[in-house]
Structures are given as structure tokens and as C-alpha cells.
Amino acid sequence: MNRLRLGVNIDHVATIRNARGGRHPDPVRAAHMAAAAGADGITAHLREDRRHISDRDMERLANEITLPLNFEMAATEEMVSIALRHRPHAACIVPEKREERTTEGGLDVAGQFASLKPLVGRLMDAGIRVSMFIEADPKQLDASKALGAPVIELHTGAYCDAEGEERDREFSRIKAAAAHAEAIGLECHAGHGLSYDTVKPVAAIPSIMELNIGHFLVGEAIFIGLDASIRHMRRLMDEARGS
């Protein structure tokens, strides 16, 4: 089976740094460590309120890391101009509300089609691989395809938050959406809320090509270190994939 890529999201290294200001811990150093621990890419979300990653972090990540950089961004003019300046390997368009604690729910691509279309076109014309962060809903997959985005990332938050039968139901939706993505020719990624407990079933879905994981890895790093937390996640993904 094809190898599943791991994108390590380093936002929350910046969250800890920002709790005191200053420079420590440095998310760029975390990105280098993630590369050494087996990450295939680095993911960072420059939020409108700059609560974790800063503009300077984005600039340094774009200039200093060798792994592909995945820039998570809201669909705003400000973020498009930053993306066009840094030209990351990929841009993942996410919904953003100031008052939310994290990205709650997927982007309504079907509902915002007209405003998203030119924005996605500009990023793609600059050679940036665009993905849409959406719920596991066929309507949103079809709209992403119609938009011309080559990649979708399925929001796994509801699956990770649920328990018992509800989790099974959420998982079935992710599996069906991943199959739908493959059928209509979209590359499928997934992420949000994944942990050692929840990663394996998602990693075992063959048409999913990449997982983006952050909060759990940085949290676990407090106990076992960042290198060990990433290596263990990588191992679980490979086991699930049979590789």
C-alpha cells in the first residue's frame, strides 16, 4: 500500500512561546525536529488574530525548512497576499472565526463557491497546491472538485470527539467521503484532533494520502519529547497501513 504522509502542525509550539512572549520554544526548531523524526511535511496556520504562528514564523518556515510547507489559511485577501509572497508548497483553506478555540467544522465550499473560486485560482496560478478543509459531506467534495482544487482535507474532529457508536458513525462518514474523493479524482487528506487512540482507523483508509496532526503531538511532547511523540505517531500510521 502507498505510504501515508505525516504533516506535523507546529502551531502549538508557538502557543507556548506566546504565553510568555520572547523566542522560546521556537516553532522553526520544532519543524527541524519533526523532519528528523519522520515528518513528510510541516503545517502551520497563520490565524487572523496571530494567536500562535506569527508573520515572522511564516517567513522563517518558508525560508528555512526543507520539507514541504503547508500553509493553513482563511479565505481572506490578507492571507492570499501572504501566501503569494511566500509560495508554500501547499495551502489549505480553512474556515476561521475569531471567537473559536480551534477550527470548528469544515469550510462551506458549496455555499461560498463564488467567492472561493477566484481565490483558489490565484493560489493555483502561483503553483501552490490548494486543498479545501471540509466535512465528510459529498456535497462539499463535489463543490471542491468543481472549484478546481486538487486536494481535500477531511475534518476528523467530530470522529475524534465522539465515543462508542457515534464514533463508528462518524468514522463511516470519513471512509465513505475518502472513497468518494478517489472516485471523483481528488487527493484526500485528513486531520484535526487525531491522537494515538484515534489515528489507526483513519490511517488504514487506503485512499487517504496525508494526515495533518499537531495539538496531540505537542501535548504529548511535554511527557515524552517531540521526537518520541512524532516517531510513535509515525509508527502507528505505518502499522495501520501495513507498511
Contact positions vs ligand PXP (CB under 6 A): 9, 11, 45, 72, 92, 94, 102-103, 133, 153, 191-194, 212-216
Nearer to ligand PXP, 11 or 57 (CB): 11
Nearer to ligand PXP, 92 or 188 (CB): 92
- Mapped onto helix, strand or coil, the DSSP state of residue 190 is strand
Nearer to ligand PXP, 101 or 242 (CB): 101
Nearer to ligand PXP, 28 or 132 (CB): 132
CA–CA gap between residue 206 and residue 125 (Å, rounded): 30
192 is catalytic: yes
User: What angle is formed at CA 56 by the lines to CA 156 and CA 106, rounded to 5 degrees?
Assistant: 20
Q: Where are the alpha helices (DSSP H) in the chain?
A: 11-20, 27-36, 55-64, 77-86, 113-125, 138-147, 157-161, 164-183, 199-203, 215-224, 226-241
Q: Do 71 and 46 form a contact (C-beta atoms < 8 A)?
A: yes
45 is catalytic: yes
Grid cell for residue 229? 511523540
Active-site residue, selected from the candidate residues 12, 52, 72, 170: 72
- Mapped onto helix, strand or coil, the DSSP state of residue 72 is strand
In the bound complex, what is the minimum distance in angstroms from residue 67's beta carbon to ligand PXP?
Answer: 16
220 is catalytic: no
Active-site residue, selected from the candidate residues 96, 189, 192, 210: 192
Active-site residue, selected from the candidate residues 45, 52, 180, 189: 45
In the bound complex, what is the minimum distance in angstroms from residue 191's beta carbon to ligand PXP?
Answer: 3
Residues marked active site are found at 45, 72, 192
